[in-house]
Amino acid sequence: MEKKHIYLFCSAGMSTSLLVSKMRAQAEKYEVPVIIEAFPETLAGEKGPAADVVLLGPQNCLYVARNSAFVTQQTCGSD
């Protein structure tokens, strides 16, 4: 099975790097074939199109429109 790419984009990177570590640990634990990476939001336009899943930090919801060229389905919020 081909690995899926999950990319997280945020401003500072502190909380995202912690989340990536936890996501990787769970993916390994359950043998989920994924590649999970974090990038600054400024690279979303460059890296985002290659991802199967794009996650934006909550402070970056205002950038969804800017990155809509590669976003096919979007949800913004933490309901």
Kindly state whether residue 76 falls inside one of the protein's structural domains.
no
Q: What is the model's pLDDT at position 79?
A: 45
Q: Give CA–CA dist 40/11, Å, rounded.
A: 6
Instruction: Say whether 76 is catalytic.
Output: no
53-56 β-sheet, strand order: 34-40, 4-10, 53-56
Residue 40's domain comprises: 4-67
Kindly state whether residue 24 falls inside one of the protein's structural domains.
yes
Q: Give CA–CA dist 73/28, Å, rounded.
A: 27
Which of the residues 10, 36, 51, 56 is marked catalytic? 10
Q: What is the model's pLDDT at position 65?
A: 62
Kindly state whether residue 77 falls inside one of the protein's structural domains.
no
CATH of the domain at 34: 3.40.50.2300
Kindly state whether residue 74 falls inside one of the protein's structural domains.
no
Mean per-residue pLDDT pooled into runs of 10, the chain (79 residues): 92 80 97 95 88 82 64 55
